[in-house]
Amino acid sequence: MAEPNKPRYAQPGDKVLPGKPVTVNRYGPGARLNHWITASSLILLALSGLALFTPALFFLTGLFGGGQNTRALHPWFGVVLFISFFVFFFQLWKANLPERVDWVWLRKLRDVVGGHEENLPELGKYNAGQKIVFWAMAGLILVLIGSGVVIWEQYFSAYFTIPQMRVAVLVHSIAAVLIICVFIMHVYAAIWTRGTLRAMTRGTVTGGWAWRHHRKWLRELAGQRKAGPAE
Ligand code: HEM
């Protein structure tokens, strides 16, 4: 049975801040730093990976000091991404667990795109789109690091055969293309939903934003305020 006072959506540090306008803490400084390290490492990883992917994009190696450096640096960007994403992952995974309401939200995608939020169900901290991006990124990063190790000749060439490495190159490239698509969707959604970017820059959103997009999360935080602050 669910514990009565246990927060379902609120995470440590999430808090309503009274004022004009009311703002709501969504990410603390640690989580934001973690997010931007993740974002920077994925951008560097994608640029260096694309440079090695096709001769048409080889010019991108100029950003990393030439072909040799790009080849040496690319796997290390991957290691940074892997570590930093999973530190972030363990802070957020519970709030990204699927719920029945996510199916309702997905079925009403027309209203999401058309801006008819009044027809959508009330949501916790994340919507189904954000959850799909979250789990897709987690899965693809695992596939990328796994296949990346198989083709990281400098350290691991003794452990894998050439046919295994060929399969790994293919898997690695497909996962890379997919994560770049997911990344573009994520950034597009963050810019398209007005008032979202400040969650990752300042750490806060407005009360209006929370009411409009994540009302169950806001209600829970407001309830905690009435019951006394959970610092
Ligand atoms: C320039 C690139 C990026 C921008 C502008 C951006 C922007 C944002 C914003 C505004 C949020 C807060 C959304 C909210 O709380 O409602 C967010 C959350 C998040 N971002 Fe990014 N992001 C970028 C890159 C990345 C990358 C590369 C990854 C992972 C590989 C990533 C993973 C996440 C995750 C996991 C969340 C939490 C949302 C969830 O758990 O569903 N972001 N991002």
Domain that holds residue 157: 22-226
Q: Is the pLDDT of residue 127 over 70?
A: yes
In whole angstroms, how far apart are CA 165 and each of 67, 98, 148, 149, 170? 21, 35, 9, 10, 9
Catalytic residue among 35, 74, 172, 186, which? 186
Amino acid at 20: K
Asked if residue 173 is part of any domain, the answer here is yes
d(CA 88, CA 160): 31
Q: Which CATH number is 82's domain given?
A: 1.20.950.20
Asked if residue 174 is part of any domain, the answer here is yes
Question: Mean pLDDT, the chain, as a whole number?
Answer: 94
Clarify whether 186 is annotated catalytic. Answer: yes
Asked if residue 61 is part of any domain, the answer here is yes
Asked if residue 205 is part of any domain, the answer here is yes
Asked if residue 93 is part of any domain, the answer here is yes
How many distinct structural domains can be found in the chain? Answer: 1
d(CA 112, CA 115): 5
Structure confidence at residue 78 as a pLDDT band (50, 70, 90): very high
Q: Which atom of ligand 1 is nearest to the CA of 39?
A: 27
Bridge partners, 17 (sequence order): 23
| Mean pLDDT, residues 220-225 | 86
Asked if residue 16 is part of any domain, the answer here is no
Structure confidence at residue 3 as a pLDDT band (50, 70, 90): low
Structure confidence at residue 231 as a pLDDT band (50, 70, 90): very low
Q: Which atom of ligand 1 is nearest to the CA of 41?
A: 27
Note the pLDDT of residue 107: 96
Asked if residue 14 is part of any domain, the answer here is no
Ligand 1 centroid distance, CA of 35 (Å): 7
Note the pLDDT of residue 230: 45
Asked if residue 3 is part of any domain, the answer here is no
Pocket test for ligand 1, best of 35, 84, 144, 184 (most atoms within 8 A of CB): 35
Q: What is the pLDDT of residues 81-90, one digit of tens each?
A: 999 999 999 9
Bridge partners, 205 (sequence order): 24
Q: Is the pLDDT of residue 55 over 70?
A: yes
Closest Cα to atom 22 of ligand 1: 187
Q: What is the pLDDT of residues 99-110, one digit of tens each?
A: 999 999 999 999
Burial of residue 142 (number of CB atoms within 10 Å: 0-12, 13-18, 19+): middle
| 204-206 and 23-25 strand pairing | antiparallel
In whole angstroms, how far apart are CA 140 and each of 115, 130, 134, 178, 184? 30, 15, 10, 8, 14
d(CA 16, CA 20): 12
